[in-house]
Each structure stands twice: as C-alpha cells, then as structure tokens.
C-alpha cells in the first residue's frame, strides 16, 4: 500500500508529466490561455487516460506478449487510443450530454496528446502490474491537470502585465513554465 501511495505522489508531483517529463506540452500551451479551457482539457485527459491505460495494458499483456508482437506496440497502441477516443465521444454524446458539452473539442484532440500515449508506454516500460498501472494511469493525468490549471492561472495574470513585444504570448509562457518546472523540481527531495 505504501508503495502505491509513493507511486501516486511521485507521478503527481515529483515526476510531473508536463513539467518534469515534458509530455503533453502542445495542449499545455494551446489550452492554458483561459481557465475554463484548461479545466476542460484537464478533465478530458484524466477521463481518457485512465481508460486508455487499462485498455493498452490489457492489450499488451493478453494479445501482444503471448504472440511475441511487442515490437508493433506503437502501432497498436495509437490505434487503440484513437478508437477509444471515438467510443468515449459517442458514448458521452448519448449518455452524459452535459459532460460531453463540457469537454467539447478537447476530446478528439486527445488522440494526438503525447501525455496519453506516453503514460501507456511508461506503464509497459516500467513493467507495472495491474494495480500499479491503475494508480499511475490516474495519478499522472491528475498531475497534468494540476500543472495545467495552475499554469492557466499564471497566464491569465501575465496578460495583464506589460511584456516586451518579442517575448509576448508563447515565449513568455515558456519561460513561466520553466519557473513552474523549477518549483516542481523542489519536490525531488520528497522521495
């Protein structure tokens, strides 16, 4: 049990997927201009990643490994994720329209979110068991959401400030992300 808590803390803070592992940075910069889009994206990632982690893990250990097909996991995983995103989209549209409206365009975008694909690969590369995989597939996207929402707050403040013209928009956002990353690096001492 202690190990799992440690794994969760490490995934959320110490190895934060956005700021320390550099995964999912395109949506990080793209959707962090406003707080509501950031929250929508964070929710969509948590939702899809938890499912994608489980499905890809099962596909890898039940289908690919027994047949010695580990080398095509990249191809298989991306297809599984793309299909899953479509299914989730259809399912939500039909059964939970409120959540579907909230997630909006972020759902289809998730297919090309490297955070989702990256965590699925991390689960396999680190040879996690089923429970560990479950914890990591939930904790990593929580870390993603945490960093994204905090960053969106910072960016909303930056817009008010006076930034030199060449540094505006993405450039200053990257530097800000750098200092956020520096503060997350401080968590290294926790483990």
Q: Which two tokens stand for residue 16?
A: 């934060």
Min dist. Cβ of residue 140 to another protein (A): 13
Residue closer to another protein by CB (options 29, 99) is: 29
Check residue 174 for interaction with another protein (CB under 8 A).
yes
CA distance 78 to 56: 9
- Binding marks (x or -) toward another protein, 112..131, rule CB under 8 A? xxx--xx--xx--x------
Residue closer to another protein by CB (options 86, 96) is: 86
CA distance 42 to 28: 9
Contacts of 60 (CB under 8 A, 6+ apart): 70, 73, 77, 124
The residue ranges that bind another protein (CB under 8 A) are 19-26, 28-30, 71-75, 77-79, 82, 111-114, 117-118, 121-122, 125, 164-168, 170-179, 181-182, 184-185
């Amino acid at each position: 049990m202690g190990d799992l808590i440690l794994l969760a803390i490490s995934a959320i803070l110490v190895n934060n997927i956005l700021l320390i592992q550099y995964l999912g940075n395109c949506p990080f910069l793209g959707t962090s201009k406003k707080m509501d889009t950031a929250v929508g994206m964070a929710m969509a990632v948590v939702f899809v990643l938890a499912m994608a982690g489980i499905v890809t893990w099962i596909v890898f250990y039940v289908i690919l490994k027994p047949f010695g097909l580990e080398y095509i996991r990249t191809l298989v995983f991306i297809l599984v994720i793309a299909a899953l995103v479509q299914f989730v989209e259809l399912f939500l549209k039909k059964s939970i329209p409120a959540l579907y409206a909230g997630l909006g365009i972020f759902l289809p975008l998730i297919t090309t979110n490297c955070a989702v694909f990256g965590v699925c690969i991390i689960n396999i590369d680190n040879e996690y068991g089923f429970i560990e995989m479950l914890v990591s597939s939930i904790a990593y996207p929580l870390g993603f959401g945490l960093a994204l929402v905090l960053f969106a707050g910072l960016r909303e403040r930056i817009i008010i400030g006076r930034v030199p013209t060449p540094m505006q928009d993405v450039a200053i956002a990257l530097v800000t992300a750098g200092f956020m990353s520096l503060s997350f690096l401080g968590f290294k001492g926790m483990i």
